[in-house]
Chain A
Amino acid sequence: DIQLTQSPSFLSASVGDRVTITCRASQGISSYLAWYQEKPGKAPKLLIYAASTLQSGVPSRFSGSGSGTEFTLTISSLQPEDFATYYCQQLHSFPLTFGGGTKVEIK
């Protein structure tokens, strides 16, 4: 199975900060990676797919990059509504797997 390691698992940041989350795959997955945002009591929301394609309706302050084994999700200027938990998922091969999550909290 492909393991995804997210870092950090927790980060504290202020409104306006630039935030970067990393997702490392245990083997190459080309660009078959997605990023989700999850808020308490709500379903996850797709932010980025194919490693760098912004899902329709998602603010442009979110961006994704990477291929192979290393990927990043960047929020260029953190907004109050962005405090949430973020997950990566590989869709390269079965079983599909998720990273452990990164919780972004207000400093």
Chain B
Amino acid sequence: GESVGLHLPTLSVQEGDNSIINCAYSNSASDYFIWYKQESGKGPQFIIDIRSNMDKRQGQRVTVLLNKTVKHLSLQIAATQPGDSAVYFCAVTMNSGYSTLTFGKGTMLLVSP
């Protein structure tokens, strides 16, 4: 099976700082990794994904880094804004996401002005 853990349940940052949210997974056969954002009272929203044949992928103000050697991935948010305040989940899957998907417990990002 797969287990997914996060290093910090809560991360507090100042507006304008860069944020880094971490995630660790257990199964070296995992090949597809996704980050979701969940605002209070809403369903999760897809942010960015990365496949195991890549080490880094960038989106708008977000970067995901994957270290397969230590089974670790991170989400970096540049110039964090109050609207980024939410719970962030990593999700991990094998078989490119065509079977099961395992979520971590989430990190709550709090951005203060």
Q: Do A and B come from one complex?
A: no
Report which A residues bind B (CB closer than 8 A): none
Which B residues have a C-beta under 8 Å from some C-beta of A? none
